[in-house]
Structure formats: structure tokens, C-alpha cells
Amino acid sequence: MWNERQKSPGCPASDSPRRQTLYAGPVTHAGPMTHVGPVRLARSVCLSGLLLVLAGCGGGGTDSPSAADSAAVFQSSQPYRIVTTVGMVTDIVRTVAGDRAEVFGLMGPGVDPHLHSPSRDDVNRLLQADVVIYGGLNLEGKMTRVFEDMAAKGRVVFAITDGLPRDVLRSPPEFEGHFDPHVWMDVSLWSRCAEHVAQRLAELDPPHAAGYAERAAALKQQLKQLDEYARTSLQSIPEQRRVLVTAHDAFGYFSTAYGIPSRSVQGLSTESEASVADINALVKFISERGISAVFIESSIPEDRIEAVLEGVRSRGGEVRIGGELYSDAMGPEGQYEGTYIGMIDHNVTTITRALGGQAPTGGMNGKLRQAAGKESTGKPNP
């Protein structure tokens, strides 16, 4: 059990719905926004304090497991404690770990990992964790430094993407020196990450290695089916319509893996804002291409895409919101869309139907909560 009585200095929880994400209003400047508002500044100050707490307590203090404690944990028959970050990591780790570990995710539905600041409870859980697994590739922004410091002090901390060869990672020009962290958008790559989790947990807990391998193998089979469903469905979209327009550039791996070009209002991180020139260029592209649907994201404010819609309509074009996609966070907990498979199934089905392709209303497994993209075409989808 997590020790809820233990308190650590920190800031209020930040796992709020997407509409509370920072947004300063319409873009009225000619270049990227660089102003740091009072709320973002306060978040930065809070995070700095929490970094000091975690860095100071990571080296064997009374609040966190020592190396000897960690070794004893894996020899026990009792479940050990894993803390993860985003839901996509949490779901994979929970599946592979099975009943050998109690897994707690710091970031729930609708939380933007690029902007997340840890709460007091987050810090408490990190201090008590036997293992910490995060996304990596700078997905968690400034929290990455927390994890690196903890690992340097001997804690069991690793990124789920550590096992991927660098030549399979995207390296967009605007992120020179950094890789795109949205790896889960390519199901085949995320499957390899699941295998990496199984290998690392087996190294920590050899007596139960077979169980980790078995669960990872079963998961990989399901992900293979999901990957094939995505490929078949998205390729059914007429070529002229096969363009994905979203709020921020979280779908680069998705675009490459499944042959659907993507454009976005923002770049890889939601910390930066789009410029007027960026918005105008996207409006021009949509209008000239005759794209009929663009997509909002569950963890990004809708107003990021509304300026684009207004721009297209002002040119006499017809465009609508084709549906809400899950990008940096999964769907509601306890629902099919709140799993990694359900998240991708939802995205694929919503995009396919909204852009005129063929996909069943209930998705690959018939479990989607509502008809995805039901207004997408003049003819019914199966």
C-alpha cells in the first residue's frame, strides 16, 4: 500500500482537465510566443522546489528505498511498487508486470505531460517507489531531470523507450538534437517498448522472468492485430482526403507508420505556441487541398484549432471537427478508450470514418463507446 500519510513539500496537483491548460488567447503576433505568464512561472518555481526534494531524497534517505531495500523487495512474495508517468506507459507496464507489482500512474486522462508539474502526492509516490518507469525522449519535459537524478543516485529508474535503436526515432528539424517522444503512435514501436519492459523487470526479478515474458508475448500479439487494423483502415481513405490535421505534432510516427500525411497547428511540444504565419499556412493548405475535417485532442484546448477553422471558413471553405483524438493522454479510466489498445483503436476508427474511409462503427473490437466519425461521409460506414 502507498503510504498516504507521508507528506512531501510540493505544489497543488496539476492533473486537471485540458481546458485548464494554459492558453493566453488568440495569436496576434508575427512570431512564436515566448512570453512566460504568471501561472507558467509559478509552475516553474514549484517544479524547481520539487526537483530539490527528489534530488535530495534519492540517495538513500529515510523516505526512499536504498539499494539494499530494493534488492529485498524483489526477493519478497509481496507486490513491489512501480510509478509511471503517462497513461500509455502505465497501461503497458501494468499489463506486463501483472500481479507482481502495484502500478501507479502520475498522469491521468486529459493531462498534458509536456506541461505537467508533480504534486505533493506525486513526490510522495516517487519517493516510495521501488521502480520508476517513464516515457523518455523528453516527453515529460523538466521532470526528465528528476528521473535522471534519481537514477544517478542508485534508484531503479528507466525510460520505456531506452531499448529502441535511435535510427527508428523521428528527429524533426525544429527539434534539432532531440527526438520525437510520441513513439506510442506507431503500434509496432510501442510493442518493442513492451518487450523492453519485460526484459528490465526480468533482470530485477529473475524468479518471475517467465511470467513477464509470457504476458509481454500475449500483449505483442494483440498489438500486432491492432497495427494491422490501423494499416488496413487508414489506407481505405481516398488518397485526396488522406491528410491528418491536428492541434499539435503528436502524430508523426502515426503518419509514417500508416501512410497518412499529417499537419498540425503546433510543434512537438505544447509549451510553444503557433505563430500567425503557421496558422495562415495551415489554413491555405486545408483550403487548397479541400480537406473536410480536422481533429481536436483530448489534452489540448480546442481553441488551438478554432483559429484554423475560422480561417478556412473565411476563405469560403467547408471544414468541421472530425472528432476528438487521444494524443498525449488516453481516454477515461475504466473505459475501453482508457487503455492503450482502446486509445489507438478510437483514433484509427475516428480518423478513418471522418475522412471517408471504411471502418466499423465500434472499432476493431466493437468496444468503442460511440459511433466514431458518424457524420464523416454521405454514405454509411459498415
Q: Is 12 left (phi over 0), alpha (psi -120 to 50) or beta?
A: beta
Average pLDDT, the chain: 82
Average pLDDT over residues 19-46: 35
Show which of 161, 192, 227 is a domain's final residue.
227
- For residues 103 and 213, membership in a common domain is answered with yes
Bigger pLDDT: 141 vs 94:
94
Cα distance between residue 305 and residue 307, in whole Å? 6
pLDDT class of 176 with cuts at 50, 70, 90? confident
Q: Is residue 347 part of a domain?
A: yes
Show which of 196, 227, 258 is a domain's final residue.
227
- For residues 208 and 265, membership in a common domain is answered with no
pTM: 0.81
Q: Domain residues for 182?
A: 18-227
The grid cell for 310 is 475560422
CATH number at residue 336: 3.40.50.1980
Q: Is residue 11 part of a domain?
A: no
- For residues 262 and 211, membership in a common domain is answered with no
Q: Is residue 259 part of a domain?
A: yes
In Å, how far are 81, 120, 130, 147, 158 from 53, measured between CA atoms? 20, 10, 17, 12, 20
User: In 31-187, at which residue ranges do the beta strands (DSSP E only) sit?
Assistant: 80-84, 101-105, 131-134, 157-159
Q: Is residue 348 part of a domain?
A: yes
8 Å CB contact between 100 and 210: no
For the cut 50, the answer to whether the pLDDT of residue 151 exceeds it is yes
List, for residues 42-66, the tens digit of each pLDDT value: 444 455 555 555 555 544 444 566 5
**CA-based angle 154:101:341, to the nearest 5?**
110
For the cut 80, the answer to whether the pLDDT of residue 13 exceeds it is no
List, for residues 280-326, the tens digit of each pLDDT value: 899 999 999 889 899 998 877 787 788 899 999 999 999 999 999 99
8 Å CB contact between 156 and 204: yes
List, for residues 224-264, the tens digit of each pLDDT value: 999 999 999 999 999 989 999 998 789 999 999 999 999 98
Res 369: pLDDT: 84
- For residues 336 and 263, membership in a common domain is answered with yes
- For residues 222 and 241, membership in a common domain is answered with no
For the cut 80, the answer to whether the pLDDT of residue 160 exceeds it is yes
Q: What percent of the chain has pLDDT over 90?
A: 59
- For residues 166 and 53, membership in a common domain is answered with yes
- 340-354 vs 209-235: helix crossing angle, rounded to 10: 0
Q: Residue 257: which residues within 8 A CB-CB, separation 6 or more?
A: 185, 186, 187, 188, 189, 227, 230, 231
Q: Is residue 12 part of a domain?
A: no
Q: Is residue 294 part of a domain?
A: yes
Q: Residue 59: which residues within 8 A CB-CB, separation 6 or more?
A: 153, 154
Radius of gyration of the chain (CA): 21
Question: Which DSSP string do the residues of 211-254 spell out, in sequence order?
Answer: HHHHHHHHHHHHHHHHHHHHHHHHHTS-GGG--EEEEES--HHH
- For residues 151 and 34, membership in a common domain is answered with yes
Res 1: pLDDT: 52
Task: Using CA atoms of 142, 136, 132, 328 in order, give the dihedral in degrees to the nearest 10.
Answer: 80
List, for residues 327-375, the tens digit of each pLDDT value: 999 999 999 999 999 999 999 999 999 999 999 999 999 999 864 544 4
- For residues 216 and 245, membership in a common domain is answered with no
Residue that is written with C-alpha cell 483524438 in the block: 325
For the cut 90, the answer to whether the pLDDT of residue 105 exceeds it is yes
- For residues 212 and 253, membership in a common domain is answered with no
How many domains would you assign to the chain?
2
- For residues 329 and 197, membership in a common domain is answered with no
Q: Cβ of 98: how many Cβ atoms within 10 Å?
A: 15
- For residues 250 and 273, membership in a common domain is answered with yes
8 Å CB contact between 146 and 127: no
Show which of 173, 208, 227 is a domain's final residue.
227
Q: Is residue 377 part of a domain?
A: no
Cα distance between residue 348 and residue 252, in whole Å? 14
Cα distance between residue 318 and residue 293, in whole Å? 9
- For residues 153 and 282, membership in a common domain is answered with no
